[in-house]
Amino acid sequence: MDLPLSSSSKAMPFTMPMFRSFVPRLLQPWIYLVQVLCIQFSGGVYLGALEAVRGTTNLQLEDLLMLLYAGLAGMAVWFPMLFRMKFRFTNQQLLVGSAIVIALCNLITMHTTEMTILLPVCFLSGIAKIQGTFECMSNIQLWMTPKRDFGVFFPILHIILLTAITGSAWLAAVVAFHWSWQMMHVLTIGTMSVVVLVQLLLCRPWCPIPQRMPLRGIDIQTGLLISLLMLMVSAILVYGDRLMWLVSPHLRWLLAASLILLALILYRLKTAEKPYISLDIFKYKNVFAILFVTVVAEMLLGAEHTLEEIYWSEVRGLEEHTKTALCLWSLPGVYVGVLITLYWLGHKRWKVWKLFAIGFGSIMVYSLGMYFLLDVNVPIEQYRLVLAFRGCAYAILAASLMWSLHESVHELEHFFMALFIFNVIHMYLAGASGYGLYTSLFKHFMADNMSRYGAYITLTTAGGQLSELTSRLSLSVMSVTLKQIFGQVVWVSMLMTSAFLLLDIPRVRTGIEKIPYWSVYGIKMLTRRKVVKFST
């Protein structure tokens, strides 16, 4: 996986011809930066308001997570369409359309709890969110890096993305605490109205190519099938622990239907003249290795969404706005991680191996900190540094993996298809799989520990305080169980850190590259045995 360094192209002049003449040139990129923040702070459902929504509707936690992953699925599946839409419509049409769709989706999610309506609404909201984000960022890319250096662009992009992810959760929790969870949707409708007004008053219709690219020839049927498969897989992973996995006949039927649908999609991708996703992506060097590292990183960072939620809510009993305010301390770590990545890839242009090691090492420090600080007597202020390491790990790995993918997949069309696969794993599949894995591990270890430690409580030892002792035991066992799972995360992150530190040594890396594949090794051994047998 020896990644070539990105070649710096000549600096290109930065202009924004979509703005009207009276708008000052110095303000033009900042206006688009504010617009992308407005779009990124939007969503179908909001992570910080999940508890408030659960308390006032009949939706369960799994339902809300399903809606959250439906939005992420919409964002991931739309990547191959981004450039086609940019070359077909004007900037004004794309941004106004995205803002209107997001506003309508927020209006609908305020007034209904029907999952059959909410799922496609959140899916469409995700599509509009990624289209609006891409339109804004593609127009100010040369402002960020005049040489179009992706070692600079991807880290800066992740400042915006990760700030919006954490900030929107905090804002939704604060709004739900002081007013109601519906007010966050009202606020989003207001910000989308601002985006529409900016486009209508300050901008004019503009398209980067005079001859609009038609939308004919797009394999939209396969795209719809992939979207359906993603929703089915997320349903299996999210509802699996609640429905006892394959014990449930519903999940068994859903799994069978998913496998049939997967076979149909693969058949269409192989036989279609212009498939929605070209399988030639996997012929590029290092793509499989990058996707594998992405899976491991996202599974390790999945502890944030599941284990932290159990600890803050069940063990410490924190309110939602307190949890999200504490998680804001991951943002300083994000900015440090972005600065490290900028210095490493954008300025020094060093090899990416040791940068991966720093990212997984930050996960290891985060997991070790949570392992040793998991105690109800520890002040929550002591978790700030640990959460900063988690943010640093996420920023380094997300930006460097996306940069590595760009360095491996050179063709623009194939790169956006590769981004689709990358983001299916990065934003969607690994997160849902992590939720299913960690909840199942927690339930298993929790039951085992309760049976072990609960045997010491009897009516005699309780002394009339059975309920109090049982409650205290449950909290203690939860802490022990979380320690056990965080301990597993420590070992895996330590293994990944050591592996990348070893790969940074040229002699080790070249030695591994000379090791033949098992198929080659097997053919050589079989041929050698036949030669020896013939000679004897």
Residue 108 maps to a domain: yes
| pLDDT tens digits for range 299-338 | 888 777 788 888 888 888 888 888 888 889 999 999 999 9
Residue 19 maps to a domain: no
Domain shared by 313 and 234, yes or no: no
Packing angle, helices 91-111 and 28-40, rounded to 10: 30
**Cα–Cα dist 305/434, whole Å:** 9
Residue 278 pLDDT grade (very low, low, confident, very high; cuts 50, 70, 90) = confident
Q: Is the dihedral of CA 266, 267, 268, 274 positive or negative?
A: positive
Claim: this prediction has a pTM higher than 0.95: no
Is the pLDDT at 39 greater than 90? The verdict is yes
**Cα–Cα dist 247/36, whole Å:** 44
Domain shared by 43 and 191, yes or no: yes
Q: Which residues pair with 170 in a beta bridge?
A: none
Q: What is the pLDDT of residue 401?
A: 92
Is the pLDDT at 4 greater than 50? The verdict is no
Domain shared by 196 and 232, yes or no: no
Exposure string for 257-289, b = 16+ CB within 10 A, e = fewer: ebeebeeebeebbeeeeebbbbeebeebebbee
Residue 12 maps to a domain: no
Q: Report the Cα–Cα distance between both ends of the chain, in Å, rounded.
A: 43
Domain containing 159 — which CATH number?
Answer: 1.20.1250
- Residues contacting residue 1 through CB under 8 Å, at least 6 positions apart: 285, 286, 289, 290, 404, 503
Residue 124 pLDDT grade (very low, low, confident, very high; cuts 50, 70, 90) = very high
| pLDDT tens digits for range 415-442 | 888 888 888 887 777 777 777 788 888 8
| pLDDT tens digits for range 154-178 | 999 999 999 998 889 899 989 988 8
Residue 94 maps to a domain: yes
Q: Is the dihedral of CA 521, 525, 530, 535 positive or negative?
A: positive
Is the pLDDT at 253 greater than 50? The verdict is yes
Give the mean pLDDT of the chain: 84
Residue 270 pLDDT grade (very low, low, confident, very high; cuts 50, 70, 90) = confident
Domain shared by 377 and 493, yes or no: yes
| Domain total in the chain | 4
Domain shared by 271 and 295, yes or no: no
Count of Cβ atoms closer than 10 Å to residue 319 Cβ:
13
Domain containing 291 — which CATH number?
Answer: 1.20.1250.20
Count of Cβ atoms closer than 10 Å to residue 299 Cβ:
18
Residue 17 maps to a domain: no
Region 56-85: what's the mean pLDDT?
86
- Residues contacting residue 28 through CB under 8 Å, at least 6 positions apart: 16, 19
| pLDDT tens digits for range 137-149 | 989 988 988 888 8
Of 178, 208, 238, the domain-final residue: 208
Domain shared by 125 and 245, yes or no: no
Domain shared by 302 and 243, yes or no: no
Residue 534 maps to a domain: yes
Domain shared by 29 and 93, yes or no: yes
The structure tokens 């969607």 sit at: 428
Residue 514 maps to a domain: yes
Checking 486-489 for CB contacts under 8 A at 24+ apart, the result is 486/303, 486/307, 486/367, 486/370, 486/371, 486/374, 487/367, 487/371, 488/441, 489/300, 489/303, 489/363, 489/367
Q: What is the pLDDT of residue 7?
A: 42
Exposure string for 65-96, b = 16+ CB within 10 A, e = fewer: bbbbbbbbbbbbbbbbbbbbbbebbbbbebbb
Of 260, 275, 290, the domain-final residue: 275
Q: What is the pLDDT of residue 324?
A: 87
The structure tokens 């509009």 sit at: 128
Domain encompassing residue 175 = 24-208
Domain shared by 176 and 42, yes or no: yes
Domain shared by 195 and 283, yes or no: no
Domain shared by 155 and 262, yes or no: no
Domain shared by 420 and 359, yes or no: yes
- Least Cα distance to 471 among 283, 317, 290, 242 occurs for 317
Q: Greater confidence, 337 or 456?
A: 337
Region 481-491: what's the mean pLDDT?
90
Residue 10 maps to a domain: no
Exposure string for 155-194, b = 16+ CB within 10 A, e = fewer: bbbbbbbbbbbbbbbbbbbbbbbeebbbebbebbbebbee
